[in-house]
Amino acid sequence: MKLPCPDCRGDLVEFDPGSGNYHCTNPTCNFQYVEAASGKEHRRTITADTSIQGANNLGKKPKRILVGLAIESALMSMGHSIFDRVTTKLRDDYGATVFDCLEKPKYLKAVLEGNFEKSVADVVSKSIRAILGEFAYYDSIRQFLEDLGDEGDSKHSGK
């Protein structure tokens, strides 16, 4: 099913298949989503500070995505089998995905340490660190990196 946005005429997307909620993906459009069953439309309330959302004030949700994508990318660079094992273990052991790891770095840490050679876990964690390093000015991301890699040298990093 394809619906046009009533405001900007762009395509509406059902982010959560089966939900019946169709979202506008246009970031500058104030239309949020329509409940297809009832036709009820939802729009953002326009406020001064939602109109300019620079990369410097990312909210919680984009950071979860950023961290999740960094983990995926790091795992993919190690090969499909490692990617599959980690994501499967996250799901089976914790009912989690890589996108939950910003809040729960210990899940990823436990999966890496419990299922792989230390060298593999180290490479993954280094690779994630390399990708996310430039975002470490966000407290939550810095905290994530610290929690992920509290091995020896970085254990007491002046807190």
Q: Within 29-68, which residues bind Zn ion (CB under 5 A)? A: 29, 31
Q: Does position 26 bind Zn ion by CB under 5 A?
A: yes
Site stretch for Zn ion (CB under 5 A), options 25-33, 83-91, 124-132, 142-150? 25-33
Sign of the CA dihedral running 86, 123, 114, 98: negative
Token couple for 9: 């005429």
> Cβ of residue 8: shortest distance to Zn ion, in angstroms?
3
Considering the complex, what minimum distance in angstroms separates the CB of residue 21 from Zn ion? Answer: 14
Interaction between residue 113 and Zn ion (CB under 5 A): no
Question: 10 Å Cβ neighbour count for 133?
Answer: 12
Q: How many CB atoms lie within 10 A of CB 70?
A: 24
Return d(Cα 146, Cα 159) in angstroms, integer: 11
Rounded to a whole number of angstroms, the minimum distance from the CB of residue 61 to Zn ion is 19
Binding of residue 147 to Zn ion (CB under 5 A): no
Stretch that binds Zn ion, among 8-16, 55-63, 115-123, 149-157 (CB under 5 A): 8-16
Nearest of 125, 64, 118 to residue 96 by alpha carbon: 64
> Does 13 interact with Zn ion (rule: CB under 5 A)?
no
